[in-house]
Amino acid sequence: MTLSRDDVRHVALLARLGLGEGDEAYYTDQLDSILGHIDRLSEVDVDSVPATAQVVALEHRLRTDEARPGMGQERALSNAPASREGFFVVPAILEEEP
């Protein structure tokens, strides 16, 4: 399967990665090449093989349903690029209609 520039543009949008014009061509070439190597996976007969759900057998553990102190608002906000009155401040979520 080959990867087109449209595919890369789509994927970059899904992943919220802002790409410049030159970047698109650059990544398309490289990702297409990598996928070319990975395509050999289609040679493997996986018909009756279950997908790995857990790597090692996990032990099921529960704890008592007791409230405990969490991180706290001060620590949670301590690395925020912008905050005000206990909130994370972000740019406009919706674009305004002109």
Partner 1 sequence: MDRHLAIIAERDPAIRAFVRLTPDLAAHQARAAQERYQSGNSLGPLDGIPMAVKDVLNVEGVEVTAGSRILEGYRAVYDATVVARLRQAGAVILGMTNCDEFAMGSSTENSAFHTTRNPWDATRVPGGSSGGSAAAVAAAEAGYSIGSDTGGSIRQPAALCGVVGLKPTYGRVSRYGLIAFASSLDQVGAFTSSVVDQALVLTAIAGHDQLDATSSSRPLGIDLDLEAGVKGLRLGLPREYFEVDGMEVGVKAAVDAALRVLEAAGAELVDVRLPHTEYGLAAYYIIAPAECSSNLARFDSVRFGRRSPGAATLLEAYSQTRGGGFGREVQRRVMLGTHALSSGYFDAYYLRAQKVRTLVAQDFTAAFEKCDAIVSATSPTVAFEIGSKTADPYQMYLCDVLTLGANLAGLPGLSVPCGRSEGLPVGLQILAPQWGEATALRVGRGFELAHGE
Distance in Å, CB of 47 to partner 1, minimum: 9
2-21 positions binding partner 1, by CB under 8 A:
3, 7-8, 10-12, 14-20
Q: Which residues contact 67 (CB under 8 A, 6 or more apart)?
A: none
The yes or no reply on residue 50 touching partner 1 (CB under 8 A) is: yes
The yes or no reply on residue 41 touching partner 1 (CB under 8 A) is: yes
Distance CA 42, CA 32 (A): 16
Distance in Å, CB of 86 to partner 1, minimum: 13
Distance CA 50, CA 47 (A): 9
Distance CA 26, CA 14 (A): 18
The yes or no reply on residue 67 touching partner 1 (CB under 8 A) is: no
